[in-house]
């Protein structure tokens, strides 16, 4: 049951992050349409730290992740890759690491 509970927590965080991603992507596309891509790029910073949360297996984790929309999309384009806060790998296979996020592989998508 513990494994099911962990997957469920991860699935909820992934679903929440996907909603954040879709909402921010829609705002970005509307901004580009309204002011053009060149001017929109001046405001690109507001689309970082867009409210993504760590997708680790820890039940009580609420750590924020600093990711752009494109970074999040790239990570989640592989259903078995998850964005976690540094130090939250918890024995999962490492895909990549930066100062602000670690990408791990898990055999289940969490969806």
Express each pLDDT in 61-83 by its tens digit.
889 888 888 889 999 999 999 99
Query: Is the model's pLDDT at 23 over the cut of 80?
Result: yes
17's tokens? 């992050």
Query: Is the model's pLDDT at 108 over the cut of 70?
Result: no
Query: Is the model's pLDDT at 46 over the cut of 70?
Result: no
Among 6, 2, 3, smallest CA distance to 55 is for 6
Greatest distance between any 2 Cα atoms in the chain = 51
pLDDT of the residue at 36: 81
Q: What secondary structure letter does DSSP report for 68?
A: -
pLDDT level of residue 48 (50, 70, 90 thresholds): low
Q: In what order do the strands lie in the sheet with 93-97?
A: 81-84, 102-105, 93-97
- Is the pTM higher than 0.75? no
Phi, psi of 83 (to 5 degrees): -90, 120
Phi, psi of 53 (to 5 degrees): -115, 155
Mean pLDDT rounded to a whole number for the chain: 82
> Which DSSP helix (H) or strand (E) runs through 64?
strand 64-65
pLDDT of the residue at 70: 84
């Amino acid at each position: 049951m513990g494994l099911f509970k962990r997957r469920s927590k991860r699935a909820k965080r992934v679903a929440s992050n996907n909603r954040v991603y879709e909402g921010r992507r829609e705002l970005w596309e509307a901004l580009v349409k309204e002011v053009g891509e060149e001017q929109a790029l001046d405001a690109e910073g507001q689309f970082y730290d867009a409210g993504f949360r760590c997708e680790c297996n820890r039940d009580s984790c609420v750590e924020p992740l600093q990711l752009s929309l494109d970074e999040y999309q790239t990570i989640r384009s592989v259903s078995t890759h998850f964005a976690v806060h540094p130090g939250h790998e918890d024995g999962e296979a490492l895909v990549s690491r930066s100062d602000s996020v670690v990408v791990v592989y898990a055999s289940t998508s969490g969806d």
